[in-house]
């Protein structure tokens, strides 16, 4: 699976995550992303390093009981654009992955703000640029 | 922690570009398998793999389709090595005769304890007969409990020892996984057959010559009936022999003595030694292969508090979470089982307890966001029989229908989840890394769990059950009969893993079956061990953080002025985080009816900060600064009357008294100081009778036994370290007080008194002096056990 | 920043990255003095960790911290030191604990900026985690800058004398102030008793 998982996640979780991601990528699902998919992105993309594996934050803000996460566009925009030390994930993650991790964050640790769909993310990408430079490229 | 939520990204253009460029290739690219083309457009760290061939680097961002391999954190030299690290015996390749061994086992059970003739290879100068292994010795080899120096395959071993080809660190479990255990228990399937029920420990404990378990006996009194050394002659005590363990770090272990063999274990890498207890001759040693990275997740020096013995086996844990069984006669490895994961910050440092055919081991890691557990393994096979967590749902804590809460606030379902913020119990701590006692009458074990994580209590509102809790569990199933949480919503890292003495005491005219728990929070708990109810809980040292223990509710009444609100500096908190007493165990004399308690006298400043959880890294969130308590002294050795609830006498010491203690029928008590003094005092009066200046300070546990020459010996490890003493041997700066989780502030001057050490010291009274002293001493031995 | 500028910046960043990489590959006499630009990975891997160079030949001049002149870098590094739990092992101000002290110019795995960078990035076998799997190089260089700042202990002599008399000063403890230059604030040594100074320098931000 992914490099990072060797260090920081259990093999079992990773395997499940891998299959889930593969599936969710293949099927352009209308169903909300699964928590496992979201958590896998959260860990494998290193979000946990700054936001904490249990949402307690660190270098980045904490997500526990965070009302700001209610604003879906804001969350998706942050992931696409980055800010300060947070990098942009526009070229690193697909619409499905961003939807998954945004859903995960918005519904964990005391938050209950509903899912984010891949089409939400696609829309956001479009709205940020006309030249398409934050469009999803092939997954890396 | 200030949230950059609303801060502005300040970046000059060039730096900004660099940061953005950095961002492109760092903090990972996605979760997909590396399918894309090699994207080397960005200069990523370590990606353009050069470097020595045998270094397998793993670097971020699978931006390229680079092969992913592990960093050899455990060294790349894990080649096939013989499992057997025993020394002193020749390894014969011999003949492999499994079938002969099979039959022979049934035939030769009666020869089980006979010492077989060692067999040496042909051509060896020691091979007098010139012949190879015979079927006789080979058959004896199959009998597990017999010593068999010739190496033959153990054909009848229930579980094969792992082969040498197996690399360290792979998640191989030789016992059942937690899921399997749960499944097994829920389906009520047959548990794996255990060895003969019961243990050797009870019988051995009653023999004054032996010291078969760290606490001397299951009740944990650390009391010896030997009186050959007594108040009249202890002044003549001299060094009889010494042995250097070879590894300098904190030496906390209690040596064991069984049948004139002394067993002792050192700190990481946890080498084990078996010596003739009378002469000091080395019989064998065993060196496991713990992962050096475990050093980085051990909070308080790379210590171990000892090993266990039962049924002819020695049981140890390694720093990196392996439980290992060795044949006590030969040192051969019988099985090893991985219990935890250093990548989650887990280590194992406690002395295991052997009882009821099982071995009981708890994890360490309350400072690393670890979830605490107590695990029972089968002595024969090394399989996990049950595991009870300290947090989480009842089904995993093993709280069932026969659980009786001693107090109202301990009643309810799934309190191990409900008394935490969402999901926080998973990283909640409660590691039971201290002492386990056992009551054979009820077949129950008693132990306490550690602090909740993080130290910043503001992040975990709620009682945080079942951290800092004394558990009474059924030894067979792990089912919790009662649990008493000593420090609900602990504010100060008051782990409650200290020893629990099981004593029948005369209180108010009745004989009570008590459990005495020397609380880290500065209170001496006398409890009913059947129910977990408090009988009394009086302070035994300066306490400012807690006003009193309410015996009706069972809860401490906290001092509201001391509440460590986020980022507020709270001063003069007593006791400091290591408590009025830490793990260093106390003793009880049925003659004097007093407890002998080595402990410290410290207060602290404390400031909480926000902390994020990253697995494998510390999860603390506090800036701590300790110092001497009122009076300026930092340690004390005291005699405490548990029935009268008062201090009877006390000896103040400059540094915390961090060693264990032993008290004897000769009315002598021994303890060691961190500035290198081993002392013998009169158990009745506290008068100093004898002292010895050792090579390094003491944090180990003294034991006493009888040698094959009929003399009484006293043994203890010197070698300062541990949480309190690491400053003496590790790279810690005495001029920066907040080091070592705040302990530096209290121990800044220790390096001027001692460095680290690694010496086993054994003392006895010279033979001539003995004869006279025995006649002088009148006594009546109390058959306390 | 507008989104257009952002996208241009993204492209520009990649371009610069490519230039630096290509430049380094062709470079024989490296000059790392381009401020603000971190050294390339291949340069970092060339940093020897031993002081024994066979043949005793001259090796390349050492790599400097690209943010050595950035006054904000030390403050950022101080934040990261807490955020990534460095303080949990190495303690506030680098006092030491589970991990070794960083307060006194003593670095087991090398004290040059590149050595410290590699220690953080690659980890070390005795328990230092491999942060390079997570942290971008600019974060690590900020940490290196901070560590240089806190390791600046006054050292009147080459070796270290330990005795009750030799202990003269201690830092003002971290619970009273939070500063990237703790050695500027000292008080008399306390010998395990309460700290003597209770200073609130106004820099206490956490």
The pLDDT assigned to B183 comes to 60
Confidence of residue B359 (pLDDT cuts 50, 70, 90): very high
Does the pLDDT value for residue B59 go beyond 90?
no
State the Cα–Cα distance between residues B716 and B211, nearest whole angstrom: 13
Q: SS3 for C144?
A: helix
Cα C136 from chain centre: 14
Residue B375: beta bridge partners? B361, B387
Chains that touch A (3 or more CB pairs under 8 A): B, C
Structural domain contains residue B163? no
Under 8 Å between Cβ of B724 and B699: yes
Q: Are residues B434 and B513 in the same domain?
A: yes
Q: Are residues B408 and B555 in the same domain?
A: yes
Looking at residue B374, the DSSP 8-state letter turns out to be E
Structural domain contains residue B782? no
Identify which of B88, B493, B4, B43 has the alpha carbon closest to the alpha carbon of residue B285: B88
Q: Which two tokens stand for residue B433?
A: 């890394």
Residue B319: beta bridge partners? none
- What would the pLDDT profile of B403-450 be if each residue is shown by its tens digit? 999 999 999 999 999 999 999 999 999 999 999 999 999 999 999 999
State the Cα–Cα distance between residues C14 and B127, nearest whole angstrom: 74
Q: What is the rounded average pLDDT of the residues B290-309?
A: 97
Chains that touch B (3 or more CB pairs under 8 A): A, C
**Interface membership of C103 toward B (CB under 8 Å):** yes
Q: What are phi and psi of B334, to 5 degrees?
A: -100, -45
Domain assignment of residue B42, given as a range: 32-72
Identify which of A128, A114, A49 has the alpha carbon closest to the alpha carbon of residue A87: A49
- Determine which of B15, B23, B25, B31 to mutate to test the interface with A (most A C-beta atoms within 10 Å): B31
State the Cα–Cα distance between residues B485 and A135, nearest whole angstrom: 55
Looking at residue B671, the DSSP 8-state letter turns out to be E
Q: Which helix (H) or strand (E) holds B180?
A: helix B178-187
Q: Are residues B364 and B477 in the same domain?
A: yes
Please tell me the total count of domains within chain B: 3
Confidence of residue B67 (pLDDT cuts 50, 70, 90): very low
Under 8 Å between Cβ of A121 and A73: no
| Minimum-distance CB partner of A85 among C10, C130, C139 | C139
Residue A40: beta bridge partners? none
Q: Which two tokens stand for residue B671?
A: 């303890």
Which residue, B131, B156, B181, sits at the end of a domain? B156
Structural domain contains residue B509? yes
Q: What are the CA-CA distances from residue C199 to residues B566, C177, C206 (Å)?
A: 19, 7, 15
Q: Are residues B457 and B365 in the same domain?
A: yes
Contacts of B1 in chain A (CB under 8 A): 57-58, 62
Which residue, B11, B43, B72, sits at the end of a domain? B72
Structural domain contains residue B293? yes
Spatial CB neighbours of B53, under 8 Å, sequence gap ≥ 6? none
Q: Which helix (H) or strand (E) holds A75?
A: helix A72-81
Q: Provide the Cα torsion C104, C110, C116, C117; round to 10°.
A: 170
Does the pLDDT value for residue B105 go beyond 90?
no
Asked if C84's CB is within 8 angstroms of A128's CB, the reply is no
Q: What residue in B sits closest to C45 (Cα-Cα)? A: B51
Classify strands B703-706 and B712-718 as parallel, antiparallel or unpaired: antiparallel
**Interface membership of C7 toward A (CB under 8 Å):** yes
Q: Are residues B144 and B283 in the same domain?
A: no
Does the pLDDT value for residue B263 go beyond 50?
yes
Helix axis angle, C71-83 relative to C137-150, nearest 10°?
A: 100
State the Cα–Cα distance between residues B336 and B317, nearest whole angstrom: 9
Scored b (16 or more CB within 10 A) or e, B266-294 reads: bbbbbbbbbbebbeeeebbbbebbbbbbb
Identify the residue with better confidence: B91 or B510: B510
Domain boundaries, chain A: 3-128
Q: Are residues B134 and B245 in the same domain?
A: no
Q: SS3 for B164?
A: coil
Q: Are residues B68 and B92 in the same domain?
A: no
A113 CB burial (10 A radius; 0-12, 13-18, 19+): middle
Describe chain C by its helix, strand, coil percentages, rounded to 5: 40, 5, 55
Asked if C88's CB is within 8 angstroms of B619's CB, the reply is yes
Q: Are residues B476 and B524 in the same domain?
A: yes
Q: Are residues B549 and B606 in the same domain?
A: yes
State the Cα–Cα distance between residues B417 and B424, nearest whole angstrom: 8
Q: Are residues B289 and B337 in the same domain?
A: yes
Q: What are phi and psi of A67, to 5 degrees?
A: -65, -25
Residue B691: beta bridge partners? B679
Q: Which residue in this structure is represented by tokens 């770090």? A: B249
State the Cα–Cα distance between residues B719 and B148, nearest whole angstrom: 34
How many helical (H) and strand (E) elements, i.e. helices and strands, does chain C have? 6, 2
Q: SS3 for B474?
A: strand
- What would the pLDDT profile of C63-85 be if each residue is shown by its tens digit? 899 999 888 999 999 999 999 99
State the Cα–Cα distance between residues B714 and B226, nearest whole angstrom: 11
Q: What are phi and psi of B245, to 5 degrees?
A: -75, -20
Which among B44, B367, B378, B383 is annotated as catalytic? B367
Q: Are residues B93 and B229 in the same domain?
A: no
Classify strands B238-244 and B759-764 as parallel, antiparallel or unpaired: antiparallel
Identify which of C101, C190, C192 has the alpha carbon closest to the alpha carbon of residue B747: C192
- What would the pLDDT profile of B11-41 be if each residue is shown by its tens digit? 444 444 444 444 444 444 433 333 333 333 3
| Minimum-distance CB partner of B733 among C24, C38, C96 | C96
- What would the pLDDT profile of A84-101 be if each residue is shown by its tens digit? 889 999 999 999 999 999
Alpha-helical regions (H) of B429-585: none
State the Cα–Cα distance between residues B238 and B141, nearest whole angstrom: 41
Query: How would DSSP label each residue in B286-323?
Result: E-----GGGGGG-BTBS---B-EEETTEEEEE-TTSEE
Q: Which two tokens stand for residue B385?
A: 């029989």
Under 8 Å between Cβ of B247 and B271: yes
Q: Is the N-terminal amide bond of B28 cis, ω within 30° of 0?
A: no
- Determine which of C10, C77, C78 to mutate to test the interface with A (most A C-beta atoms within 10 Å): C10
Asked if A58's CB is within 8 angstroms of C3's CB, the reply is no
State the Cα–Cα distance between residues B718 and B694, nearest whole angstrom: 7
Which among B44, B310, B490, B493 is annotated as catalytic? B493
| Minimum-distance CB partner of C93 among B14, B567, B736 | B736
Structural domain contains residue B37? yes
Q: What is the rounded average pLDDT of the residues B107-112?
A: 41
Confidence of residue B7 (pLDDT cuts 50, 70, 90): very low
Structural domain contains residue B771? yes
Classify strands B223-224 and B661-664 as parallel, antiparallel or unpaired: parallel
Q: Confirm whether B493 is a catalytic residue.
A: yes
Asked if B61's CB is within 8 angstroms of A58's CB, the reply is no
Share of chain B above pLDDT 70, in %: 73
Identify which of B427, B464, B743 has the alpha carbon closest to the alpha carbon of residue B616: B427
Confidence of residue C197 (pLDDT cuts 50, 70, 90): low
For residue B106, count other CB atoms closer than 10 A to its CB: 10
Does the pLDDT value for residue C31 go beyond 60?
no
Nearest-neighbour CA in chain B from A52: distance (Å): 5
Structural domain contains residue B195? no
Q: Confirm whether B68 is a catalytic residue.
A: no
Contacts of C167 in chain B (CB under 8 A): 734-735, 748-749, 752
Q: Provide the Cα torsion C145, C151, C154, C156; round to 10°.
A: -110
Helix axis angle, B135-142 relative to B98-107, nearest 10°?
A: 70
Q: Could you give the count of Cα atoms lying within 13 Å of A77 in the half-sphere of its Cβ?
A: 11
Confidence of residue A134 (pLDDT cuts 50, 70, 90): low
Q: What is the rounded average pLDDT of the residues B151-166?
A: 40
Identify the residue with better confidence: A4 or B266: B266
| Architecture field, domain A3-128 | Orthogonal Bundle (1.10)
Does the pLDDT value for residue B550 go beyond 90?
yes
State the Cα–Cα distance between residues B260 and B748, nearest whole angstrom: 41
Q: What residue in A sits closest to C7 (Cα-Cα)? A: A133
- Mean pLDDT, chain A, rounded, equals 79
Residue B503: beta bridge partners? B514
Q: Is the N-terminal amide bond of C46 cis, ω within 30° of 0?
A: no
Residue B514: beta bridge partners? B503, B528
Lowest mean pLDDT among A84-93, B382-391, B709-718: A84-93
Structural domain contains residue B27? no
| Minimum-distance CB partner of A87 among B26, B62, B68 | B26
**Interface membership of A112 toward B (CB under 8 Å):** no
Identify the residue with better confidence: C164 or A136: C164
Contacts of A134 in chain C (CB under 8 A): 3, 7
Q: Are residues B477 and B604 in the same domain?
A: yes
For residue A65, count other CB atoms closer than 10 A to its CB: 13
Q: Which residue in this structure is represented by tokens 């009848």? A: B156
Q: Which residue in this structure is represented by tokens 């004398």? A: C161
Classify strands B668-672 and B661-664 as parallel, antiparallel or unpaired: antiparallel
Q: What is the CATH number of the domain that holds B486?
A: 2.140.10.10
Identify which of B383, B384, B324, B327 has the alpha carbon closest to the alpha carbon of residue B348: B324
Scored b (16 or more CB within 10 A) or e, B362-371 reads: bbbbbbbbbb
Residue B338: beta bridge partners? B322
B131 CB burial (10 A radius; 0-12, 13-18, 19+): exposed
The pLDDT assigned to A84 comes to 84
């Amino acid at each position: 699976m992914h490099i990072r998982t060797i260090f920081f996640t259990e093999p079992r979780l990773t395997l499940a995550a891998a299959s889930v991601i593969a599936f969710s990528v293949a099927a352009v699902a209308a169903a909300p992303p699964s928590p496992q998919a979201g958590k896998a992105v959260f860990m494998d993309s290193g979000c946990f390093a700054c936001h904490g594996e249990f949402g307690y934050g660190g270098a980045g803000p904490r997500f526990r009981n965070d009302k700001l996460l209610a604003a879906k566009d804001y969350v998706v925009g942050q992931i696409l654009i980055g800010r300060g030390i947070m990098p942009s994930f526009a070229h690193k993650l697909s619409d499905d992955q961003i939807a998954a991790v945004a859903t995960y964050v918005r519904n964990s640790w005391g938050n209950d703000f509903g899912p984010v769909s891949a089409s939400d993310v696609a829309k956001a990408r479009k709205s940020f640029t006309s030249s398409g430079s934050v469009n999803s490229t092939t997954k890396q | 922690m200030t949230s950059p939520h609303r801060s502005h990204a300040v970046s000059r253009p060039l730096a900004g570009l660099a940061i953005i460029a950095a961002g492109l290739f760092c903090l990972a690219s996605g979760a997909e398998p590396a399918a894309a083309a090699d994207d080397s457009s960005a200069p990523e760290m370590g990606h353009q793999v050069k470097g020595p061939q045998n270094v397998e680097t793993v670097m971020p961002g699978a931006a390229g389709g680079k092969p992913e391999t592990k960093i050899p954190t455990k060294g790349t030299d894990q080649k096939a090595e013989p499992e057997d690290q025993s020394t002193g015996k020749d390894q014969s390749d011999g003949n492999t005769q499994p079938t002969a061994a099979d039959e022979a086992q049934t035939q030769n059970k009666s020869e089980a304890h006979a010492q077989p003739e060692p067999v040496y290879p042909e051509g060896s100068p020691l091979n007098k007969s010139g012949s190879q292994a015979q079927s006789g010795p080979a058959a004896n080899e199959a009998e597990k409990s017999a010593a068999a120096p010739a190496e033959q395959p153990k054909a009848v071993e229930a579980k094969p020892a792992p082969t040498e080809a197996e690399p360290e660190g792979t998640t191989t479990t030789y016992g059942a996984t937690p899921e399997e255990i749960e499944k097994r228990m829920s389906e009520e399937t047959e548990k794996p057959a255990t060895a003969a029920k019961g243990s050797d420990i009870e019988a051995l404990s009653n023999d004054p010559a032996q010291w078969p378990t760290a606490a001397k006996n299951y009740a944990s009194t650390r009391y010896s009936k030997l009186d050959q050394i007594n108040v009249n002659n202890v002044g003549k005590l001299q060094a009889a022999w010494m042995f250097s363990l070879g590894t300098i770090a904190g030496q906390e272990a209690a040596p064991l003595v069984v049948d004139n063999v002394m067993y002792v274990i050192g700190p990481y890498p946890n080498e084990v030694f078996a010596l003739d207890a009378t002469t000091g001759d080395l019989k064998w040693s065993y060196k496991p292969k713990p992962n050096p990275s475990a050093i980085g997740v051990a909070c308080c020096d790379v210590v171990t508090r000892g090993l266990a013995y039962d049924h002819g086996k020695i049981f140890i844990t390694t720093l990196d979470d392996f439980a290992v069984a060795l044949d006590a006669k030969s040192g051969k490895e019988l099985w090893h089982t991985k219990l935890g994961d250093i990548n989650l910050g887990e280590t194992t440092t406690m002395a295991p307890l052997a009882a009821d055919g099982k071995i009981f081991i708890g994890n360490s890691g309350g400072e690393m966001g670890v979830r605490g557990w107590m695990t029972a393994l089968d002595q024969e096979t090394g399989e996990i029989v049950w595991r009870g967590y300290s947090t989480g749902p009842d089904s995993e804590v093993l709280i069932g229908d026969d659980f009786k809460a001693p107090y109202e606030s301990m009643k309810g379902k799934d309190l191990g989840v409900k008394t935490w913020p969402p999901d926080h119990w998973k990283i909640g701590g409660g590691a039971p890394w201290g002492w386990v006692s056992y009551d054979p009458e009820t077949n129950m074990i008693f132990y306490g769990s550690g602090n909740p994580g993080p130290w910043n209590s503001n992040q975990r509102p709620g009682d945080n059950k079942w951290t800092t809790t004394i558990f009474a569990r059924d030894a067979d199933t792990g089912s919790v009969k009662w649990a008493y949480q000593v420090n609900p919503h602990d504010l100060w890292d008051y782990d409650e893993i200290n020893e629990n003495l099981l004593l029948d005491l005369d209180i108010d005219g009745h004989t009570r079956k008590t459990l005495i728990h020397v609380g880290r929070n500065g209170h001496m708990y006398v409890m009913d061990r059947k129910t977990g109810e408090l009988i009394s809980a009086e302070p035994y040292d300066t306490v400012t953080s807690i006003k009193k223990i309410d015996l009706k509710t069972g809860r401490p009444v906290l001092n509201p002025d001391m509440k460590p609100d986020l980022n507020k500096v709270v001063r003069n908190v007593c006791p400091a985080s290591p408590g009025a007493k830490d793990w260093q165990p106390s003793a009880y004399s049925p003659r004097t009816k007093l407890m002998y308690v080595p402990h410290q006298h410290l207060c602290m400043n404390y400031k909480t900060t926000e902390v994020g959880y990253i697995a494998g890294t510390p999860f603390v969130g506090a800036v701590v600064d300790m110092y001497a308590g009122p009076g300026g002294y930092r340690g004390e050795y005291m005699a405490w009357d548990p029935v009268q609830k008062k201090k009877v006498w006390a000896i103040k010491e400059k540094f915390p008294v961090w060693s264990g203690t032993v008290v004897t029928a000769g009315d002598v008590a021994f303890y060691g100081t961190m500035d290198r003094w081993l002392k013998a005092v009169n158990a009745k009066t506290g008068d100093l009778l004898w002292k010895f200046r050792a090579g390094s300070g003491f944090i180990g546990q003294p034991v006493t036994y009888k040698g094959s020459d009929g003399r009484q010996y006293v043994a203890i490890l010197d070698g300062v370290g541990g949480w309190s003493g690491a400053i003496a041997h590790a790279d810690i700066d005495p001029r920066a007080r907040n080091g070592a989780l705040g302990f530096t502030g209290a121990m800044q001057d220790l390096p001027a008194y001692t460095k680290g050490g690694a010496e086993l010291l054994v003392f006895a009274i010279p033979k001539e002096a003995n004869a006279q002293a025995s006649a002088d001493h009148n006594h009546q031995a109390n058959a306390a056990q | 920043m507008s989104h257009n500028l952002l996208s241009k910046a993204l492209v520009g960043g990649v371009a610069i990255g490519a230039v630096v990489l290509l430049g380094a590959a062709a470079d024989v006499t490296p000059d790392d003095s381009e401020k603000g630009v971190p050294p390339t990975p291949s340069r970092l891997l060339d940093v020897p960790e031993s002081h024994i160079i066979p043949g005793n030949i001259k090796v390349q001049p050492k790599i400097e911290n690209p943010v050595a002149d950035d006054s904000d870098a030390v403050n950022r590094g101080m934040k990261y030191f807490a955020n990534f739990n460095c303080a949990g092992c190495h303690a506030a101000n680098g006092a030491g604990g589970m991990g070794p002290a960083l307060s006194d110019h003593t670095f087991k795995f090398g004290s040059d900026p590149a050595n410290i960078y590699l220690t953080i990035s690659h980890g070390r076998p005795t328990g230092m985690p491999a942060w390079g799997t997570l942290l971008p190089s600019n974060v690590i260089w900020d940490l290196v800058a901070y560590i240089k700042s806190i390791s600046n202990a006054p050292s009147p002599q080459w070796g270290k004398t330990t005795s009750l008399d030799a202990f003269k000063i201690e830092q003002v403890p971290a619970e009273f102030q939070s500063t990237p230059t703790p050695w500027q604030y000292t008080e008399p040594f306390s010998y395990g008793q309460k700290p003597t100074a209770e200073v609130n320098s106004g820099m206490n931000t956490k």
